[in-house]
Amino acid sequence: MAELRTEEEQVQALKSWWDENGKSLILGIAVALAAVLGWKGWQQHESVQAENGSILYQNLLDSVVGAIGPQQDEAKLATANHLSGQLKADYDDTAYANYAALIMARVAVEQGELDKALTELDWVLAHQPTESIFVLASMRKARIIADQGDADKALTIINSVPVAGYVVSINELKGDIYLAKGEIAQAKSAYETALNASTANNRPLLEMKLNDLAAQES
């Protein structure tokens, strides 16, 4: 069709096409560019987040090792508190923040601050942990609550979590709670469920607890 026109006509046609579609074309390109750049930028941000989180977490691990167990180093404990605080504040959407809170719950238990440990565990539960971390945090929460005397609440918590791969641990914990409540038969049956689900001989403490209940049979 083009060969029919003169050069001028072609220029004219181009111009009118541009008038008609120019804006939407530029807009289209701009939107596409923005989308690509935005995506790239977001990815970049994510990976920077992850890397910074990783560095903070690595440092946290170093200081926590010094803050727990027999050595109980005050300075390391302060560092650990600071680092976990930073992780939870600025990197709260990374897995590192969840790990940090889990670890700090343990530190709090060793310091005798059970309520603080509960706060940390609740923080984990509120921040989209993986299923596995969710179960672990719930079990730990139930243990602390049972220790504080509310066995029924502990049982409610433990009965509501998905079992995932933790059949043995969950049932052992149920047994512990029932035993604390004085419900020997339930405790025994929970321990038995746990022991049946475990691989041979890798839970000596569980066997010990179960064997100790054998008395009530005879």
Partner 1 sequence: MLQSIRDNSQGIIAKIIVGLIAVTFALFGVESLVSLTAGSNSPATVNGEEISQQDLIQGVQLQKRQMLSQMGEDADPALLDDNLISNMVLEGLIEQSVLVQSATDQGLSFSDAMIDQLILTTPDFQQDGQFNRAQFEAVLRNAGLTPMMYRNLVRKEKVTEQERAAFMLSAFTLPSELKTIAQLDSQTRDLRYFTLPAESVRASIEVSDEEIADYFDKHRTEFLTDEQVAIEYLLLERDVLASEITVTDEQLQNAYQLLVDTFQAQELRHSAHILVAISDEQDDAAAKAKADALVERLAAGEAFEALAKAESDDPASAEMGGDLGVNAKGVFSSEFEGALFALEKGQTTSTPIRTEFGYHIIKLIDVEETETPTFAEAKADLENDLLTQLSEEAYVAQLERLADISFSSGDLVEPSETLELEIHKTDLFARSGDEDEITANPKVLSVAFDGELIKEGLNSTPIELDSGRAVVLRVVQHELPREKTIDEVSANIKDTLIDEKVSQALTAQADGIIAKLKQGESLENVASGATVMTLAGVARSQQDLAQELRTAAFKLPKPAADSISYTAVDMLDGSKSILVLDNVIDAEIDLKPEEISYMSMMLSNRKGQQDYQDYITQLKEKAEVERL
- For every residue of 51-69, DSSP letters joined together read HHHHHHHHHHHHHHHHHST
Q: Is 69 in the site for partner 1 (CB under 8 A)?
A: yes
Asked if 73 is part of the footprint of partner 1 (rule: CB under 8 A), the reply reads: no
By C-beta, is 24 or 218 nearer to partner 1?
218
141 burial level (CB within 10 Å; 0-12, 13-18, 19+): buried
Instruction: Assess 61 for contact with partner 1 (CB under 8 A).
Output: yes
Q: List C-alpha distances in Å: 103 to 97, 149, 175.
A: 10, 24, 25
Query: Where in 190-209 is the site for partner 1 (CB under 8 A)?
Result: 202-203, 205, 208-209
- 26 is a site residue for partner 1 (CB under 8 A): no
Shortest distance (Å) from residue 180 CB to partner 1: 8
Task: For residue 106, give the nearest of 89, 120, 93 by alpha carbon.
Answer: 120
Burial of residue 150 (CB within 10 Å: 0-12, 13-18, 19+) is middle
* Residue 160 is a binding residue for partner 1 (CB under 8 A): no
Would you call 5 helix, strand, or coil by DSSP?
coil
- The interface with partner 1 within residues 107-126 (CB under 8 A) comprises 109-110, 114, 117
Q: Return the number of the residue (22 or 165) whose C-beta is nearest partner 1.
A: 165
Rounded Cα distance between 60 and 30, Å, is 43
Least separation in angstroms between CB 188 and partner 1: 11
C-alpha to C-alpha distance for 102 and 82, rounded to whole angstroms: 15
Which residues lie near partner 1 (CB under 8 A)? 46-47, 50-51, 54-55, 57-58, 61, 64-65, 68-70, 94-96, 98-99, 102-103, 105-106, 109-110, 114, 117, 130, 132-133, 136, 140, 143-144, 147, 164-166, 168-169, 176, 202-203, 205, 208-209, 211-212, 214-218
